[in-house]
Amino acid sequence: MNQPKLLLIGRNGQVGWELARTLAPLGRLICPTREELDLTDLESVRRTVRQVRPDVIVNAAAYTRVDQAECERELAFLVNARAPAVLAEIARQLGSLLVHYSTDYVFDGQSSAAYVEDSPPAPLNVYGESKLAGEQGIQATGARYLILRTSWIYATRGRNFLRMVLRAARDARPLRIVNDQVGVPTWSRMIAEATAAITAGRLNCDEAPASDNDGIYHLCAAGQTSWFGFAVAILEECIRQLERRGADSRVYEKALASASPITTPEYPTAAQRPAFSVLCPSKLLSRFRLTLPPWREQLRLAVEEINVYQQL
């Protein structure tokens, strides 16, 4: 029996780096470089995917610079909308499954309850608009697809909120963090592990080309918090783990004592962000019997990994 081929796009991103590990046991994993497959060059996308002829395409690449997108609209739409639609069209032609990631920023934040997959999207910024256009472009092709909306992604490597808080604490920089935007912090590793579980299930079953499980799913941790609440939790977890190791935690204690909550107007940005972008992941549980741990538990595991390598 031939091994299935999986094409991973965006290998070096926060989620992509974790996917390279979690997808590897599922078959022959192919991770092209940006020179080989550049989402800003649609011909290179077409050429590479057709050469590989994968059974599954996992697109973990995206334009994610939320504020810069306000002045780079064309580039954001090229990477986040036009390229995914091209991937979906090729996937339809090859009979492949496309797994693609979207965002909580497709919503306007006016809801008082967690957003479900059928909640009407109304993005507030160019980034959210481009990601919504990507969803719509994929759906219009008739390809087999899974669109996984994620939120407030962080990782133990690269540039993200978790590492920003740690750097600020070590540099003794004041932490003034927005406290009136609420969402769900989600560790990139959990996203990758859930993606691998879903993909394995799709590869290991005989199903019609148009599966009942195709569609949009919210893939995020359980619970919710503000950015300030997330920052406080990061510092508290660092202190707890360092104390357990018998190491000096004073840097983080000082950062926690001096951290202050601020409002969105006190931290103006080029892009408007939703005040409430909590996603409800219940559909993921009902369809795939998957649920991600609460955000605090995910954070504990992530900080524990950093602590193991004594990088706190």
Q: Which residues are catalytic?
A: 127
**Residues 88, 57: Cα–Cα separation, whole Å:** 9
Question: Are 207 and 55 spatial neighbours (Cβ–Cβ below 8 Å)?
Answer: no
Query: What's the distance, Cα to Cα, between the start and end of the chain in Å?
Result: 46
Residue 187, both tokens: 């560790």
Q: Which residues contact 65 (CB under 8 A, 6 or more apart)?
A: 72, 127
Q: What is the largest CA-CA distance in the chain?
A: 60
Query: CA 73 to CA 147: how far, in whole Å?
Result: 22
Gap between the Cα atoms of 307 and 312, Å rounded: 6
How far CA 33 is from CA of 44, 192, 266, 282, in Å, comes to: 11, 19, 40, 35
Q: Are 27 and 1 in contact (CB under 8 A)?
A: no
The sign of the dihedral angle between the CA atoms of 195, 201, 8, 68 is negative
